[in-house]
Chains A and B, each alone.
Chain A
């Protein structure tokens, strides 16, 4: 047996070191593309075990890839160079809520939705709400800096992190930030670590900020017969002094897919629908609802639906949630992107998507969090059709470039991972990427922490095909 594998056994129980081929294959993928076989999978259950694993990895220069529940859409936990997958999902759950401080300290394995559930019991809310919240771990959310529909009003994961406990690539334990809302002591390592995709260390504990739970919500569904008007209505709403908690967008292809999948009476002739959720005091909501309605109508909405009760509102949100499964019926393989543009550029981005669709002859549909410009263009294809996948790769490349050209970014909430690493320079420039690399090298001199992510290796390309 190789020495490093023997050394691992000193730090962690044998049954928590998985080496069978079946187990290794089970941790060779995530929810994105690519399959890479690790040499071992280790399931730590406390900080000391993580320290032990990292010390071994650092000494023997074996790569380590932290992993939550593997729901990542950008390839964050993939063991691209073999080595050790650090499965953090089996760590015992701990949620320590301090109601009077409006903070909560959690272990990395806690499912994100569980934090919100606990907070709700005390009239509080953990605002970040990625769609995968009921299955993804908070550790993974922190690493990837996940977002969600509520990001419009409340921000993404990083906006809710007060402090972290992190094991460095050299196996030392550090604490960043703290438990206070204000904290300007020194460099803000907390913000640096959140969203660093496991390339700078392993998060073993986090202290998060909670906010008061809004006492009421109000949903509206607005129909448009062209995307441009929808874009204008979104901008007008946001500049009118009202900040909705969610502002979601579905294009015609999505509307039709949902109606085919599970008919609930969505307007299939519409070019787009925008779903608005307002939250706050019930009295304020009455006024805001009317203002939004007026704006939408004055801009040229063809219809505004105000649900009469919770059930009707749930139905609208259910339709929005059905988009992913519904569009998977068009073609089985879903390349889900999260290119994000300035809010005023949504119509331009939609036009670019239409061009891409024509040019590469691929199915492209688009939905997403229009309120913050975070769109989810999805390319639907079939993994078994290599030729089509090749066209899909080209389409994705062009889609990223389109977002950057419009002043946007490669990723609004999924992260860079392996998927977007080759495009980093296009957005940040060579020097920009180089400054990030220098930080990485300073933290991780032996380059063992989650290699192959964020920073492209020489000649690295976007790969959606199995090669």
Chain B
């Protein structure tokens, strides 16, 4: 195969022909709105992929438009011809990654982050514990006082402020591998803990387990599970993400289970697409399909088992910011709203444009900070006009981003952001 042919295959050139260039995706695209160029629209990006595949433009020309795509997939929900934008985007990222010349230090850093850091339970626990120490020891207050965090690279100083209070290492270590409900279990669920979710939002994960146990489900937490690989795929590291998928598929095959439940929109979106990573007709494809058929979001499972009712009123005005990956990729839209409607005391005010991405998009907000903040500003304008006391989300990235948005708007006295699971547990769920 010639170089160009090889490139065409990786970049999914064939799939670009499904785009009839009608432009219906333009109004749905957050970056087209904030960056004001066709180059940063889905139609523009698909066209550029085509130009690169035809040798008319270089991979370098493609880099910025592709890197600035949030991958929110809002375009796929309005596309009249069902263009597989996600696959085109991933192919483009892979090609860009393959062409990149990186310094030794950069390579080592990436190898560590994607190869060791995210996929390792140990590292994720360490991150959580270090954050706990940082918060507990007074270092945080000291750092804030001296503005030392503002000097952190990649604007991490802004994010550091909004990380929730961490549980102690002892509490973290106390989690077991199996939880049984008081009555006979109606189904057996394997919980996918996620990497960042389990590190930074450990409490939310515990609450998720708690909700499921109260609903009469048996929970197992497969020990060999690892990061879902979404971050890797978004960074163009397809091979890594295939490896992680295999590890997870193996881990969740260890015992007979009915469902694989997760509580992070972004992870869920990756998990339900595992089969796309393997060629049709292969054994791995079959195993992946079996895995995928059992994946559910926590909100879906809670609606499905219908066991819980809520006893403690939460007298608050809230709004719901759906995770793009949960709505647009998993197609889970109504279950969270159904659950919220069951909570007494809550007043739900809908955003004018709930489907507009918050700008978090994996680690987009860290890598493309300025662009992400412009998108967040659009989102916060909508949020502020609704004036909620609480913003409810279903994905760790969105949750952090909404917390950041609230800080930026100077609204932290008036509102906060929580994960749906935490709110549900607060409402005294009982069978």
Contact = CB atoms under 8 A, between A and B. Distances in A.
A and B from one assembly?
yes
Interface of A: 18, 20-23, 25-31, 43, 69-71, 87, 90, 111, 132, 134-136, 324-325, 328, 332-334, 382-384
Contact of B27 (A21, A31, A134, A324): A134
A132 B80 CA distance: 12
Interface in B261-312: none
A444 B48 CA distance: 34
Given A69-B26, A324-B80, A325-B81, A23 B20 contact: no
A328 B20 CA distance: 9
Nearest to A23: B39
Given A43-B37, A135-B22, A334-B20, 14 more contacts: A21-B57, A21-B58, A21-B61, A22-B65, A25-B57, A25-B61, A31-B22, A43-B36, A134-B24, A134-B27, A324-B81, A325-B82, A328-B81, A332-B18
B24 A29 contact: no
Interface string B1-44: 00000000000000001101111101100000000111101011
B27 A111 contact: yes
Top 7 A-B pairs, shortest CB-CB distance:
A26-B38, A325-B80, A26-B44, A26-B39, A71-B23, A22-B61, A328-B81
A419 to B, nearest CB: 14
Contacts of A132: 22-24
Interface in B54-76: 56-58, 61-62, 64-65
B161 interface: no
B51 interface: yes
Contact of B47 (A26, A134, A325): A26
Nearest to A466: B54
Contacts of A43: 36-37
Is the contact region of chain B dominated by helix, strand, or loop, or is it mixed? loop
Nearest to B51: A25
Contact of A18 (B24, B37, B43, B82): B37
A68 B122 CA distance: 53
Interface string B191-207: 00000000000000000
A26 B62 CA distance: 11
A258 to B, nearest CB: 12
A156 B131 CA distance: 64
A37 B183 CA distance: 69
A26 B17 contact: no
A43 B35 CA distance: 12
Nearest to B39: A26
Contacts of B81: 324-325, 328, 332
B47 A29 contact: yes
Given A43-B36, A135-B24, A25 B17 contact: no
Nearest to B62: A22
A383 B17 CA distance: 8
A28 B57 CA distance: 13
Contacts, number: 82
A447 B23 CA distance: 29
Of the candidates B38, B58, B80, the one having the most CB atoms from chain A within 10 angstroms of its own CB is: B38
Given A25-B48, A26-B37, A332-B18, A69 B23 contact: yes
A87 B81 CA distance: 26
15 contacts: A21-B57, A22-B39, A22-B61, A22-B65, A23-B38, A25-B51, A26-B37, A26-B41, A26-B44, A43-B37, A70-B43, A87-B38, A132-B24, A324-B81, A325-B82
Contacts of A31: 20-23
B33 to A, nearest CB: 10
A333 B20 CA distance: 7
B328 to A, nearest CB: 17
Interface string B339-371: 000000000000000000000000000000000
B357 to A, nearest CB: 19
A437 B334 CA distance: 58
Contacts of B18: 328, 332
B203 to A, nearest CB: 43
Contacts of A26: 37-39, 41, 44, 47-48
A114 to B, nearest CB: 10
B24 to A, nearest CB: 6
A43 B36 CA distance: 9
A20 B21 CA distance: 21
Nearest to B54: A466
Contacts of A90: 36
Nearest to A111: B27
Nearest to A71: B23
A28 B18 CA distance: 18
A70 B27 contact: no
A134 B26 CA distance: 10
A332 B14 CA distance: 11
Contacts of B22: 31, 71, 132, 135
Contact of A135 (B27, B51, B82): B27
A334 B81 CA distance: 11
A337 B51 CA distance: 26
A132 B82 CA distance: 17
A136 B26 CA distance: 10
Contacts of B24: 132, 134-135
A70 B20 CA distance: 12
Contacts of A70: 21, 23, 38, 43
Nearest to A32: B21
A133 to B, nearest CB: 11
Contacts of A87: 38
Of the candidates A23, A26, A111, the one having the most CB atoms from chain B within 10 angstroms of its own CB is: A26
Contacts of A23: 37-39
Contacts of A20: 39, 61
A20 B39 CA distance: 10
Nearest to B23: A71
A333 B48 CA distance: 18
B101 to A, nearest CB: 20
A328 B21 CA distance: 12
Contacts of A328: 18, 20, 80-81
Contacts of A27: 38
Given A31-B23, A132-B22, A325-B80, A333 B17 contact: yes
B47 A25 contact: yes
Given A21-B57, A25-B48, A135 B36 contact: no
Contact of A22 (B23, B57, B80): B57
A30 B22 CA distance: 8
A382 B20 CA distance: 11
Of the candidates A25, A31, A334, the one having the most CB atoms from chain B within 10 angstroms of its own CB is: A25
Of the candidates A22, A135, A382, the one having the most CB atoms from chain B within 10 angstroms of its own CB is: A22
Contacts of A136: 23
Contacts of A28: 47
A135 B23 contact: yes
A413 B18 CA distance: 25
A449 to B, nearest CB: 22
Contacts of A29: 21, 47
Contact of B56 (A25, A325, A384): A25
A382 B17 CA distance: 9
A332 B64 contact: no
B421 to A, nearest CB: 34
A22 B46 CA distance: 12
A286 B245 CA distance: 61
A31 B24 CA distance: 10
